Amino acid sequence: MLTTEGKVDAGALRERLRLLRLSYNDQADSWSWENLRGLRAAAEVSERANLFSKVGIGAQGVTFTLRNVPDLTLADAFLWYGPGGWEHCFITLIEPADRLFIRVRCARVRTCACRALVEREKPGVWFPGVLTEKYVGHEQLDPLAINVICYVLVTPKAVELKRGSLVSVDGTPYEVQVGHLLDPWKNEFEIVRTVDL
């Protein structure tokens, strides 16, 4: 990918990317990823996990080298046509590679269709989220057993959920327990549900 002079070889940019940006639709009361344009990049898959969540566990990482995209921020995302087809890539770091190119570190994640549940009769806004594992607890009660399932839901910064409210993730309801809102580019919510065994 780099020439002997330490510059990026533009001929190595063979991977297909789509630049995604979050947009809001008033009529549907929903946030979604809008496809802005296609890009070409070189991809390096990492053996180490990319810690895209400060509270949850990481996902497999990939680093893209591409021509500079001046308006690219950590609030954007990529779709990458990788080995298994199109994959959503959560951007975690943008750094210069040389004068004309940048390196973008990403986590390869699966997005979920999420909906805030304001009240059972009045659903709220739709939004894309990324679910990652945090903790699974098991509590043995006599004569029942309860399985407490706890995940971390990573959302775009525009989405804010209230503690104690419900959120539907791919059709499954969870209770929002804790919100982590200090990151300038995303929010993270610890969500739980209990299942009788």
Dihedral angle computed from the Cα positions of residues 84, 13, 129 and 138, in that order, rounded to the nearest 10 degrees: 60
* Phi-psi label, residue 143: left if phi above 0, alpha if psi -120 to 50, beta otherwise: alpha
From residue 25, alpha-carbon distances to 35, 106, 111, 129 in Å are 14, 26, 18, 16
Taking 80 as the threshold, does the pLDDT of residue 6 lie above it? no
- Structural domains of the chain, with CATH: 10-109 (2.40.10.270), 111-196 (no CATH)
Cα separation, 40 vs 67, whole angstroms: 8
pLDDT score for 123: 76
pLDDT score for 4: 42
pLDDT score for 121: 58
Per-residue pLDDT averaged across 169-197, rounded? 92
Which of the pair, 39 or 9, is modelled with greater confidence? 39
Please give the mean pLDDT across all residues of the chain.
Answer: 88
How would you classify the pairing of strands 186-196 and 166-169?
unpaired
* Phi-psi label, residue 28: left if phi above 0, alpha if psi -120 to 50, beta otherwise: alpha
